[in-house]
Amino acid sequence: MELEEKLASRKARLAVIGLGYVGLPLSMEMAEAGFHVVGIDSDDRKIKEIAAKRSYIADVPTEILAKMVSEGRFEATVDPAVLATCDAISICVPTPLSKTKDPDVSYILDAVEKIERHLHPGQLIVLESTTYPGTTDELIREKLEAKGMRVGRDFFLAFSPERIDPGNKTHGTRNTPKVVGGITPRCTQLAVQLYSQFIDRVVPVSSARTAEMVKLLENTFRSVNIGLVNELAQMCDVLGVDAYEVIEAAATKPFGFLPFFPGPGLGGHCIPIDPHYLAWKMKAHDFTARFIGLAAEVNQEMPHLVVDKVSAGLNHHGKPIKGSRILALGVAYKKDVSDMRESPAIEVIDELRRRGGDVRYHDPYVPELVLNTGTLHGVPLTDEELAKADCVVVLTDHSCFDVAHVVRGSSLVVDTRNVTRGLDPKLRERVLKLGAPSPFEPGAVSAVRAH
Ligand SMILES: NC(=O)c1ccc[n+]([C@@H]2O[C@H](COP(=O)([O-])OP(=O)(O)OC[C@H]3O[C@@H](n4cnc5c(N)ncnc54)[C@H](O)[C@@H]3O)[C@@H](O)[C@H]2O)c1
């Protein structure tokens, strides 16, 4: 049976390499659509969890995973030999940066090596990991063609960027449109055929390189706009204007404006990293990606601005950072998730500790916090913990936080997420907000001045 027919009848055997935040939800959509799916991951602990029918990704309910495993529609292994029996393979491995901020494509290369050993005619391979334009066409194609098979004729290759937003209750894998670009038109056609089986809308583009660039535009767009509002917050700090009020009012304009909000810095596996993949690629062409560089510069200043806010607040109470007890509220990189990757909380807490602060933290999603300055264990959010803190610094706006209770029980709160908006003005007198006028003497607390 031809691949196209196998995909349409859902008789094709699918494989997903890398079963993390991206790969596990994708596998579930494929399996729920009726495909037989094999997951491959080098992390044995994940394979054991799947065998025990337990989900380790918040967006994948354990009941669904257990159902798919019990019904024999999903299985997982560390052994890439199963690829020999698969018709289509999606690659969802990490693409981090090296210490020198260069792309680390070693996980992709390792996955491609596994595929190459089992590559057979008619197979479709789709890369989903975010990467620089040209990876699929230059790096992967060359490796897979090394033994004489030709792309578009013997096997098929495409790029389809993953857009999942962990924790998003409205948009998941199925109802987020999926962009697909193949190396040849036939590759695009087959990849569209694959994803159309379990994704509501598939958007073909003219090449894999275009699809790679689409993802980098999306994440650079976010990084640049966040950089813009973070600079706005710095300016508002100096001018004594509330940046959030400014943005909310601007967002009433029904056209030509899209609201982004300031915060303690960029976090997660995507926005702080992906634009550097593009900047790195452009460097080889003697092209400096100026917006990417500038946004990164502004965004990287934010954790220091937060530390300065804490310092200014303590100073108002006649206390130095050294020896003060500081409670960080929320450490995950964004609300309602446990993901700590690139979380700005790490930099904020490390710097406070380096300056002698006695920092504790509470985050219901993160029991243990590995910092550069040591490892901390979360503390329960008790009235005693709040009362004993010289300063509470809100770094993540988890929905479960009772902000009014926190502020009522604390002597000083630094709010980096605008969680204290709408509180009683009397309570807000003890809150120092990022990008907003100080409730203390006007002008007493000024921002880090970048320039
Ligand atoms: N997390 C997100 O929100 C998100 C959103 C869009 C795109 N992406 C992109 O998707 C890709 C995957 O991200 P993620 O968040 O799922 O990462 P992750 O770390 O959660 O999962 C990756 C998995 O791949 C496994 N792995 C690594 N190398 C392997 C190999 N050679 N063979 C088999 N398994 C291997 C790891 O053990 C891990 O379980 C990245 O390129 C990322 O930029 C992530």
Kindly state the tokens that stand for 284: 């080889």
Going from the Cα of 19 to the center of ligand 1, the distance in angstroms, rounded, reads 7
Fold classified for 216-291? N-(1-d-carboxylethyl)-l-norvaline Dehydrogenase; domain 2 (1.10.1040)
Ligand 1 pocket, mutate which of 22, 89, 160, 342 (most atoms under 8 A from CB): 22
Closest residue by Cα to atom 27, ligand 1, is 93
Alpha helices in 79-124 (DSSP H): 106-118
- CA dist 192 and 186 (Å) reads 10
**Residue 228 vs residues 263, 307, 392: alpha-carbon distances, Å:** 11, 20, 27
What's the alpha-carbon Rg for the chain, to the nearest Å?
24
Question: Angle 344-354/290-316 helices, nearest 10 degrees?
Answer: 50
The torsion of the CA quartet 306, 307, 312, 316, rounded to 10 degrees, works out to 110
pLDDT value for 448 = 52
Kindly state the tokens that stand for 331: 């450490």
Going from the Cα of 120 to the center of ligand 1, the distance in angstroms, rounded, reads 25
Using the atom order of ligand 1, give the atom closest to the CA of residue 24: 16
Ligand 1 pocket, mutate which of 41, 49, 89, 223 (most atoms under 8 A from CB): 41
Beta bridge partners, 181, equal 159
Alpha helices in 197-323 (DSSP H): 208-239, 243-250, 274-283, 290-316
Ligand 1 pocket, mutate which of 269, 337, 338, 342 (most atoms under 8 A from CB): 269
Kindly state the tokens that stand for 28: 């579930």
Using the atom order of ligand 1, give the atom closest to the CA of residue 131: 41
Going from the Cα of 18 to the center of ligand 1, the distance in angstroms, rounded, reads 6
Going from the Cα of 230 to the center of ligand 1, the distance in angstroms, rounded, reads 28
For Cα atoms 285, 182, 273, give the angle at the middle one, nearest 5 degrees. 50
Residue type, 279: A
Going from the Cα of 160 to the center of ligand 1, the distance in angstroms, rounded, reads 14
Identify the DSSP state of 448.
Answer: P
* Number of alpha carbons in the 13 Å side-chain half-sphere of residue 275: 26
Query: In this structure, how many other beta carbons lie within 10 angstroms of the beta carbon of residue 269?
Result: 19
Closest residue by Cα to atom 37, ligand 1, is 43
The torsion of the CA quartet 402, 407, 410, 415, rounded to 10 degrees, works out to 100
Pairing type for strands 178-182 and 156-159 reads antiparallel
Going from the Cα of 236 to the center of ligand 1, the distance in angstroms, rounded, reads 38
* 270 classed as catalytic: yes
CA-wise closest residue to 15 among 65, 97, 77: 77
Fold equal for 3-206 and 216-291 = no
Ligand 1 pocket, mutate which of 93, 113, 216 (most atoms under 8 A from CB): 93
pLDDT value for 331 = 98
pLDDT value for 66 = 98
CATH 3.30.565.10 fits 3-206, yes or no: no
User: Domain map of the chain by residue range?
Assistant: 3-206, 216-291
pLDDT value for 100 = 87
Q: Which residues, 6 or more positions from 118, have their beta carbon under 8 angstroms from its beta carbon? A: 80, 81, 83, 84
- CA dist 308 and 352 (Å) reads 10
Using the atom order of ligand 1, give the atom closest to the CA of residue 40: 33
Pairing type for strands 325-329 and 202-204 reads unpaired
Do 57 and 21 touch, CB atoms closer than 8 A?
A: yes
Residue 441, exposed/middle/buried by CB under 10 A (0-12, 13-18, 19+)? exposed
Q: What is the pLDDT along the chain (451 residues), one digit of tens a residue?
A: 799 999 999 999 999 999 999 999 999 999 999 999 999 999 999 999 999 999 999 899 999 999 999 999 999 999 999 999 999 999 999 999 998 889 999 999 999 999 999 999 999 999 999 999 999 999 999 999 998 999 999 999 999 999 999 888 899 999 999 999 999 999 999 999 999 999 999 999 999 999 999 999 999 999 999 999 999 999 999 999 999 999 999 999 999 999 999 999 999 989 999 999 999 999 999 999 999 999 999 999 999 999 999 999 999 999 999 999 999 999 999 999 999 999 999 999 999 999 999 999 999 999 999 999 999 999 999 999 999 999 999 999 999 999 999 999 999 999 999 999 999 999 999 999 999 999 986 554 454 554 4
Going from the Cα of 130 to the center of ligand 1, the distance in angstroms, rounded, reads 9
Residue 144, exposed/middle/buried by CB under 10 A (0-12, 13-18, 19+)? buried
Residue type, 286: D
Do 125 and 83 touch, CB atoms closer than 8 A?
A: no
Place of tokens 């193949």: 182
- CA dist 215 and 219 (Å) reads 6
pLDDT value for 440 = 87
Using the atom order of ligand 1, give the atom closest to the CA of residue 130: 41
- CA dist 24 and 219 (Å) reads 22
- CA dist 263 and 229 (Å) reads 9
Residues contacting ligand 1 via CB (< 6 Å): 17-23, 40-43, 46, 92-95, 107, 110-111, 129-130, 162-164, 166, 269-270
Kindly state the tokens that stand for 251: 């967002």
Catalytic residue among 86, 187, 236, 270: 270
- CA dist 30 and 22 (Å) reads 13
Place of tokens 């706006």: 397
pTM, two decimals, is 0.93
* Number of alpha carbons in the 13 Å side-chain half-sphere of residue 447: 29
